[in-house]
Chains A and B, each alone.
Chain A
Amino acid sequence: MKGWTGKFLRVDVSERRCKVENYDENLALNFIGGRGFAVKLLWDELPIGVEPFSPQNKLIFAAGPLTGLPIASSGKMVVASKSPLTGGYGDGNVGTMASVHMRRAGYDALILEGVSEKPVYIYVEDDKVEIRNASDLWGLSTFEAERKLRENVGSDCGILVIGPGGENLVKFATIISQEGRSGGRPGMGAVMGSKKVKAVVFKGTGEIPVADMDELMKLGRMGYESIRKASGYDFWIRQGTMMTVEWCQENSTLPTYNFREGVFDFAENVNGYAMEKVKIKRRGCPYCNMQCGNVIEDAEGRSSELDYENVTMLSSNIGVGDIRKVGVLNRICDEMGIDTISSGNVIGFIMEASEKGLVNEKIEWGDFEKAKELLYDISYRRGIGNLLAEGVRKISRKLGEGSERWAMHVKGLEISAYDCHAAPGMALAFGTSPIGAHHKDAWVISWEISIGRFKYDDIKVDKVLEFQRIRGGMFESLVTCRLPWIELGFNLDWYVKFFKAATGVNLSLKDFFEVGDRIYSLIRAFWIREYKGDWNREMDTPPTRWFEEPLTKGPLAGKKLDKKLWNELLSKYYERRGWDERGVPRKSTLKKFGLDFTIPILEKYVKLEE
């Protein structure tokens, strides 16, 4: 095999055993890599219904055949596991030198299993693999731990690390790299913490096998050039994803006060232009020439790396209208290793709960000091933070009194930063995202607005599917960044050519989309299996708030989603996916994608339609 290294590294921290395994070429061809590898490994290897924090749960760090090659935005890695937050499939994508070094060390994935008695870190240097003592790192913030590790292992390596959030099993703890690159929203950091693994260090000195290196280098150069020359490049370099704040404010999709509104009175103080005034540098993922991490000096004089999602969830969604203060909140999340999106979501929720008198604590909208305190309380599970650390689905079940209606999640994952009162297509994308409500697979709002945002047409279903195939299927399995494509018009054909040069295998876009569909149906089967068949379309339905409580501010005041029409969109989505009215894949669909092996297991829990 070329492009793929053909090897997985398995580390069992209970038994302190490491093993290198060759995997089958068919796995590569049918699942490509990244998310595809992750879900197949989890399906095959996890005991059904495994407790996410048990030794039997596994944490997968997976690259794809393009990861770490000198082509556009390829320094990415998927981290995946059974999620402690949602109870289903969870993954995240992190840009890190660890992805490049893992591949150079000769592995396409690391499978981490077991639970260590004492804190450890995994050190991988090519074929030398060690499980090392991390007692002196345990308890440190992600920034401190990474710096301290670098004193030991040097700078020419990639490090993934968890913070107190992961150690204390915060259900939305993430895995962090390079002081601000974060991935694994559905609690991948907590799974790592449950295994008592503080960090993973990769140092690879080998070469990634490539079918046609000359061609790849040539394409790589041309690709970078095409990105650099695209109109809008200079502005992207200035603001990156932060331009989305202005965009969402204009379009009434800026999540505001726990997704009650789509516009924020202080948006001008937290948008890309406000950020530019305090920006000190830019950084980003390896092999990227459009790096989008905007580093600002925060209100405490420290560096904080901002992008749209974290800024919005920690500003408009909780009422903080000062970019430098938002920088502080963002930096605390990164240091503690907790997800910024879920943090902003649960804090917004508890502010609303306080306003409505559902909790005794006084936690007011826009209270920056209180928000800061809550982030630490969540990370250390102190006081009310212990409840917030469970995520918004569980908090609302505990508080009751109808709060489930405005607990902003789908499948237990907190909704990311787009209000959908007036965006039925995006609400469908959130509903059907394979990890719970997240925008990474199908961010269709832009396109939706361009064709008529209030329509409930079939083409919206088709667009969600198309985006899921491209972003959730192709990019997440090749493991390259999804941003060059739309932001700078980097044509998808580039990836077909990159793939051919890297692997020698000819796949068309249609083939990649089929792989995407296979991955989607397998992820869905995994959820149904782990929920023991307790599954219905409500699992794919966004919160009641968007259907029942109209916007009250801005040009779209009065707008809300129509439940009946939205449900018709969902039914059409199921039909096109080959899933039944409950959202369960049909037997014929599973067979079509070569997922026959799921049928006997699923049939233990649900009746499958033909």
Chain B
Amino acid sequence: MAFIRALGYLAEYIGGRSMKIRVDKPVKIRDIIKLPLDLEGRIIILVDGQPSTLDSLIVDSDRIVLMPIISGG
């Protein structure tokens, strides 16, 4: 299972703060998580701690973190 964690408002796009998903073959993140266009430049994606993009391929066992780019308090 791939584990997806979504921070802040991104939780609303995966239906919760985290989810597990079965990935049978490598798949692009954008194919499993649908985000509005205006968010594309406003998010950070880490796959197992490595900077990634919506086009990165993930496999079962990956830990994906989606987070908004924010600017602090």
B7 partner, pick from A246, A308, A309, A416, beta carbons under 8 A:
A246
If A250-B65, A446-B44 touch, whether A451 touches B73 (CB-CB below 8 Å) is: no
Taking CB atoms, residues of chain B closer than 8 Å to A251 are: 67
A446 and B69 alpha carbons, distance in the complex (Å):
5
Q: Which residues of B contact A272 (CB under 8 A)?
A: 8
A232-B9, A235-B12, A489-B42 in contact; A450/B71 too (CB < 8 A)?
no
Instruction: Give per-residue flags for A236-260: 1 if the beta carbon is below 8 A from chain B beta carbons, else 0.
Output: 1001010110110011000000000
Interchain CB contact under 8 A, A449 and B46: yes
Chain B residues, CB < 8 A from A393: none
CB distance from A425 to the nearest CB of B (A): 13
Contacts of B26 in A (CB 8 A): none
> Residue B9 contacts which of A236, A440, A482, A483 (CB distance < 8 angstroms)?
A236
Residue contact B72 to A231, C-beta cutoff 8 Å: no
Known contacts A449-B46, A450-B51; A486 and B70 CB within 8 A of each other: yes
Q: Interface code A63-76, partner B: CB below 8 Å = 1, 0 otherwise?
A: 00000000000000
* Neighbour of B68 across the interface among A232, A482, A555, CB < 8 A: A232
Contact residue among A239, A449, A452 (Cβ-Cβ distance under 8 Å from B8): A239
29 A-B pairs (CB sep. < 8 Å)? A231-B9, A231-B35, A235-B12, A243-B7, A243-B8, A243-B68, A244-B70, A246-B7, A247-B7, A247-B68, A251-B67, A307-B73, A308-B73, A309-B73, A416-B73, A418-B72, A439-B72, A440-B72, A446-B67, A446-B68, A446-B70, A446-B71, A449-B51, A450-B51, A471-B71, A485-B71, A486-B69, A487-B68, A489-B38
Total interface residues in chain B, CB < 8 Å: 23
The interface on chain A, measured as residues whose beta carbon lies within 8 A of the other chain's beta carbons, has a size of: 40
Those of B1-36 within 8 Å (CB) of chain A = 5, 7-9, 12, 35-36
Q: Is A445 an interface residue (CB 8 A)?
A: yes
Contacts of A312 in B (CB 8 A): 73
| B11 to A, closest residue via Cβ | A235
In contact, B8 and A247 (Cβ under 8 angstroms) = yes
CB-based contact A489/B41 at 8 Å: yes
Given contacts A450-B51, A451-B51, contact A234 B9 (CB under 8 A): yes
A contact residues vs B (CB 8 Å cutoff): 230-232, 234-236, 239, 241, 243-244, 246-247, 250-251, 272, 307-309, 312, 416-418, 439-440, 443, 445-447, 449-452, 471, 482-483, 485-487, 489, 555
Closest A-chain residue to B68, C-beta based?
A232
> Contacts A449-B51, A450-B44, A451-B51 known; A308 to B8 CB distance under 8 Å?
no
In the complex, A416 Cα to B51 Cα: how many Å? 26
Q: Which residue of chain B has the shortest Cβ distance to A440 in the bound complex?
A: B72
Beyond A231-B35, A232-B8, 18 extra complex contacts between A and B, CB < 8 Å: A231-B42, A232-B42, A236-B9, A272-B8, A308-B72, A309-B72, A418-B72, A439-B73, A445-B72, A446-B44, A446-B71, A450-B51, A452-B51, A471-B71, A486-B42, A487-B68, A487-B70, A489-B42
User: Do A417 and B73 have beta carbons less than 8 Å apart?
Assistant: yes
B49 engages A443 (CB within 8 Å): no
With a CB–CB cut-off of 8 A, which chain A residues contact B38?
230-231, 489
Provide the residues of chain B in CB contact with A239, threshold 8 Å.
Answer: 8
Q: Which residues of B come within 8 Å of A, CB atoms? A: 5, 7-9, 12, 35-36, 38-39, 41-42, 44, 46, 49, 51, 65, 67-73
Closest B-chain residue to A312, C-beta based? B73
Shortest beta-carbon distance, A451 to chain B, in Å? 6
A11 CA to B6 CA in the complex, in Å? 52
**Cβ of A482 and Cβ of B39 under 8 Å apart?**
no
B73 lies within 8 A of A231 (CB): no
Q: What chain A residues lie within 8 Å of B49 (beta carbons)?
A: 555
A291 to chain B, nearest CB (A): 14
- The distance in angstroms between the C-alpha atoms of A446 and B45, with both chains bound, is 11
Task: Tell me whether A449 and B44 are in contact (CB under 8 A).
Answer: yes
Nearest CB in chain B to that of A240: its residue: B73
| Nearest CB of B to A466, in Å | 13
Report Cα–Cα, A312/B72, bound state, in Å. Answer: 12
- Whether A231 contacts B8 by the Cβ 8 Å rule is no
